[in-house]
Amino acid sequence: MLRPLAFAGVAMLAALVCGPPCGAADGVFEREAAKARGERLEGLGPTAGFTRLHSLTGAWSVVSVYIQRPQSPRGRWVARRVASDMEGPAWTDAASCPDLVTSLALLERLAPQRLEVLGLSPYAPPRAYTADGTLQTVWSLDGAQPDGAPITVEWSSNSGDLARWGEATEARLAKCWKPEPKR
């Protein structure tokens, strides 16, 4: 019984010290995350994106990914990033940062295994949740169902494979961001 009480005490202390996720309380993160899905680059909307929000510090980043010239065999991948620790957007593309395509390919392999509906799925022991992690959210407007039909996908977690992908991608792309898009 001590652990849940200790956990609740830590969570309450964190909320008192920094408020609703520190730094994200001004709504900028939510606005940037929503804007990323609709913002256009040379007339094209994003095909995918990902966000990161740290639950205690409120540090955040929003990345939207575009493919220019989608009719060519590989197209030209371009990504735009805004974050709580920078002024204005930063850009990268696959030509100057091959790690962009590497990260996207690794993400594509992380498809969620199943949807569980509480009460219908076989009972499984409660899963461990991380209260002080970084919430990763990935989305794609161009997903596909097993039968090939299109689907919009959004997936969030602060632990497991998705969290590890987010941490690795942030580190992998850190050296790639530039203040202006390459033309």
| pLDDT tens per residue across all 183 residues of the chain | 333 333 333 333 333 334 444 445 579 999 999 999 988 888 888 989 999 999 889 999 999 999 876 666 667 889 999 999 988 899 999 999 999 999 999 998 887 667 777 777 776 666 666 666 889 999 998 888 889 899 898 998 888 899 899 999 999 999 999 987 766
Count the neighbouring beta carbons within 10 Å of the beta carbon of residue 120: 6
Q: Of the candidates 140, 135, 144, which has an alpha carbon nearest to the alpha carbon of residue 61?
A: 135
Residue 89, pLDDT score: 93
Q: How far apart are CA 14 and CA 79, in angstroms?
A: 33
Residue 142, pLDDT score: 84
Domain boundaries, the chain: 14-111+131-173
Residue with tokens 């920094």: 18
List the structure tokens of 68: 């220019």
Q: How far apart are CA 36 and CA 177, in angstroms?
A: 17
Residue 171: exposed, middle, or buried by beta-carbon count in 10 A (0-12, 13-18, 19+)?
exposed
Q: Of the candidates 74, 102, 81, which has an alpha carbon nearest to the alpha carbon of residue 172?
A: 102
Residue 5, pLDDT score: 35
